[in-house]
Amino acid sequence: MTAPAQTKSARLLSPFNAIATLVLVIGGIIFAVRFVKGLAATTNLDNNNPWGLWIGFDVMAGVALAAGGFVTSSGVYLFGMKEYRPVVRPAILTGFLGYFLVVVGLLADLGRPWRLPYPFLISPGWTSPLFEVALCVALYLTTLLLESAPAAFEWLGWKKLRTVVGSMTIALTILGLILSTMHQSTLGAMFMATPTKLHPLWYSPYLPVHFFISAVAVGLSMVIVEGAISHRVFHERVEITRTQFDAITLGLGKAAAVALAVYFSTKVLAIALEDKWHYLGTRYGLWYLFEIAGFVVLPCFLLLVGYRERRVTLVRIAAGITVAGVVLNRLNVAMFAFNWRLPWEARYWPHPMEIAVSLSLVMAGVVMFRWIASRMPILHEHPDWKGTH
């Protein structure tokens, strides 16, 4: 009778749980300090740099990384790619947790977070890109909650609610696709109001297009990365064979390579149409080339080689590079290439407390996914609902 208790205690005292607890406690304390003492006590934000790491990483990168949900669900439920069905639920769960934590991170960044409902209830800005992003994110978070609900209802045994929500799958998928297309692109559109602040190599009238295409590429890549980790950690809960999972990975890698190729083409086209070639010889130009060559061209090439030669590990490595590249791009737009004309000493660099809060949000997402995936039918089908949406 004592052995199970000892085994459970050993699991609770695992290195992962110890590290996760430490990160979450530190992040929670700093989060509390931010609300007690304000932004000035926990960030390096100022009048020149009102947006920093919490917007560049927590919101802009976070929204892009959560794009796998609408990409995979659209492919399976709208375009009939049934072979990718095993990765839909993990992708939707990742998307829901990602968007939920985006909202939590946004609460830390807002100067007056208690006025978050103000644009919706008091004074909506119908012509503001920021309002459109806020409205779409709120609606899409609700959509993701409903799309994630079937797994929870199956786990709880609530069959009637499961049937009702399951019947809404196609409608929710279409709504999610529309909302994602709108706000993923409008995140880029917000920076079209900063032509004198954002460096010309990153500023472009095509920013909405760049943001949307790169979100598709990183969404597919996140599904590959998340799937590889999940199948290693939760291998006993996975129903599909290794051969089936490798085939899914290769197919996603091929799609991600196409998205990256389209993204690269639009970036080159933008530079050509706007005649910005001369900027490539500057210091910022070298940094831009590093981003494009190292995190767009290279992973695109590796994905194609991996798909052609059936090298699954190479595809996963390339997907990881793509994820890092889109995060770098969002940080460049929001931070590193922003206010590029300011003196070096006036530039924004994240405060250690900002970094700690961002890390705690990432860890919170990992912990929640781990808890849900180890209990609910996320990586496998519930025996009572096999073959249903």
Q: What is the pLDDT of residues 86-110, one digit of tens each?
A: 999 999 999 999 999 999 998 888 8
pLDDT for 116? 79
Rg of the chain over Cα atoms, rounded to whole angstroms, equals: 21
| Nearest to 42, CA basis, from 362, 358, 345 | 358
Task: Please tell me the predicted confidence (pLDDT) of residue 6.
Answer: 47
Q: Which stretches of 129-233 are DSSP H helices?
A: 129-156, 159-166, 169-189, 207-233
What is the reported pLDDT for 8?
54
Task: Compute the distance between CA of residue 108 and CA of residue 181 in angstroms, rounded to an integer.
Answer: 26
Neighbouring C-beta atoms of residue 302, cutoff 10 Å:
21
Tell me the two tokens of residue 145: 């909650």
The domain covering 44-350 belongs, at the CATH homologous superfamily level, to Formate dehydrogenase/DMSO reductase domain (1.20.1630.10)
As beta bridge partners, residue 198 has: 338
Given a cut of 80, is residue 176 above it in pLDDT? yes
Reply yes or no on whether the pLDDT at 70 is more than 50. Answer: yes
State the pLDDT at residue 148.
Answer: 94
> In the predicted model, is pLDDT for residue 387 greater than 80?
no
pLDDT of residue 9: 52
**Residue-level pLDDT at 235:** 83
Looking at the predicted structure, is the pLDDT value of residue 2 above 50? no
pLDDT, residue 5, reads: 46
Angle at 137 between CA 136 and CA 142, to 5 degrees: 100
Residues 6+ apart with CB under 8 A from 309: none
Which amino acid, 318?
A
Q: Please give the pLDDT value at position 389.
A: 62
- Which amino acid appears at position 180 of this protein? S
- Give domain limits for the chain: 44-350
- What is the token pair recorded at 228? 């590889």
Average per-residue pLDDT in the chain?
91
How far is 126 from 131, CA to CA, in rounded Å?
A: 7
Average pLDDT over residues 349-360: 95
Q: What is the Cα–Cα distance from 73 to 135, expressed in whole angstroms?
A: 21
Could you tell me which residue, 277 or 344, shows the higher pLDDT?
A: 277
**Lowest mean per-residue pLDDT among 12-26, 208-222, 249-263:** 12-26
Q: Are 104 and 159 in contact (CB under 8 A)?
A: no
What is the reported pLDDT for 25?
A: 96
Residues 164, 86: Cα–Cα separation, whole Å: 21
Residue 10 has pLDDT above 60, yes or no: no
Residue 254: which residues within 8 A CB-CB, separation 6 or more?
303, 304, 307
Least confident of 10-24, 137-151, 210-224: 10-24
How large is the average pLDDT for residues 188-215?
94
Report pLDDT for 377: 93
Residue matched to tokens 């929204």: 63
Measured between alpha carbons, how far is 241 from 354 in angstroms, rounded to an integer? 42
Rounded to an integer, what distance in angstroms lies between the CA atom of residue 271 and that of residue 279?
10
**pLDDT score at 1:** 39
Which residue is it, tokens 């947790």?
Answer: 97
Q: What percentage of the chain carries pLDDT values higher than 90?
A: 76
Residue in 192, 263, 221, 260 with CA at minimum distance from that of residue 64: 221
| Reported confidence tier of residue 386, pLDDT bands at 50, 70, 90 | confident
Handedness of CA 287, 292, 297, 300 (dihedral sign): positive
Summarised one tens digit per residue, pLDDT across range 292-340 is 999 999 999 999 999 999 999 999 999 999 999 999 999 999 999 999 9
CB neighbourhood size of 258 (10 A)? 16
